[in-house]
Structure 1
Amino acid sequence: MSLQLVWSNEQEQFEIGGEWIGLLENILQKAGEAEGVEDGEVALTFVDNERIHELNMEYRGIDRPTDVLSFAMNESLEDEPDIIYELEEGEELEEVPNILGDIIISVERAQEQADEYGHSLKRELGFLFVHGFLHLLGYDHQDAASEAEMMGKQEAVLAQVGLTR
């Protein structure tokens, strides 16, 4: 098993091609290696500012578009009941993928930020993707120390794939 990227494009302003997806798959592998995550599935959806604005309002109560949202699936299961499966004779248990979560990126906002920061859309999408991936693993940036830690991890992964500033 390895890390798998499942993606969809729900915006029409920017074409998302194989080169972009190949780069993001490479970023996923590098970030996974750095964090000791060997297998799992990450769902990535590309949207526009209107859609991410709706999601940001619905899930975070923030009435504006943002660049990336992450929804982790492997949060604490301490309060979850144990589920016991009984197999019928001859039935085999199917392997269920380790779904890490969903990352949603506004490509429109990513382009705005790439222009603002003076780098490519490719670099901005890579940054937002690895940022979202780290959120799926439980990283956050609520204070200066945790923000510096996340930034260092993001830049290290991006350097490995040639997306430096």
Structure 2
Amino acid sequence: MSVEILNESGEVPSPVPEQELADLGRHVLQELRVHPLAELTITLVDEGAMAALHERWMDLPGPTDVMSFPMDELRPGGEDEELAEGVLGDVVLCPAVARRQAAAAGHAVGDELLLLSTHGILHLLGFDHAEPAQEREMFDLQRTLLLTFLAARGRTTTAAPEAGRA
């Protein structure tokens, strides 16, 4: 799986190591049985760039924490299902917004960015949280994916599964 990380936020070093974001992306895609040749890009941007994207694509003012831009409409695979390869799409994160959310929630900005990345990838795969049942499914899966990723690294998180409601 190809996971590219672009840090255009101006924050050097990034609040979460780029390798960790890439590893998380691969973990989520593997766990959801996405084709091994699928491509994903995670981009970190500043508040001005995120506000411009938010206004252009969602017609909402100001920056948000995460946005997802699907490309080839790839979906999670089933047990005996032939997987489609292609470009999954782009997840765009705003570390400045994530930093404020993390501070308000009482956890690390890196954990917030990992949670938001997981959330964004799930949106790329067709998950949504518009309805209560969809929200439960998406946020349960989001939490499970993040916790299994961190457990494999000997870490835990205090980031709540409700984060990333974009």
Larger RCO, structure (CA 8 Å, separation 6 or more): 1
The one of 101, 104, 110 equivalent to 1:113 is: 101
Matches of residues 20-35 of structure 1 in structure 2 within 5 Å? 20-35=17-32
Alignment match, 2:45: 47
Structure with greater Cα Rg: 1
Q: For 2:157 and 2:91, how far apart are their aligned partners in 1?
A: 22
Q: Counterparts of 2:103 and 2:115 in 1: how far apart (Å)?
A: 14
Do the aligned residues in 2 keep the contact of 1:8 with 1:46 (CA within 8 Å)?
yes
SS in structure 2 at match of 1:43: strand
Take 1:12 and 1:45, find their aligned partners in 2: how far apart are those partners? 12
Distance 2:139 2:157 in 1: 13
Any unmatched runs of 5+ in structure 1?
77-96
Contact 1:11 1:46 in 2 (8 A): yes
Letter in 2 for 1:141: H
Q: Take 2:126 and 2:57, find their aligned partners in 1: how far apart are those partners?
A: 17
RMSD value over aligned CA atoms? 1.8
Equivalent pairs, count: 142
Question: With structure 1 as the length reference, what TM-score do the two structures score?
Answer: 0.79
Q: Write the distance in 1 (CA, Å) between the matches of 2:42 and 2:26.
A: 14
Q: 2:132 aligns with which of 144, 150, 156?
A: 144
Q: Please name the residue that 1:156 is paired with.
A: 144
Query: Structure 2 CA distance, aligned partners of 1:158 and 1:44?
Result: 16
2:68 is matched with which residue? Answer: 70
Q: Tell me how far 1:14 sits from its aligned partner.
A: 4.7
1: CA distance between counterparts of 2:90 and 2:22? Answer: 14
What percent of counterpart residues are identical? 31
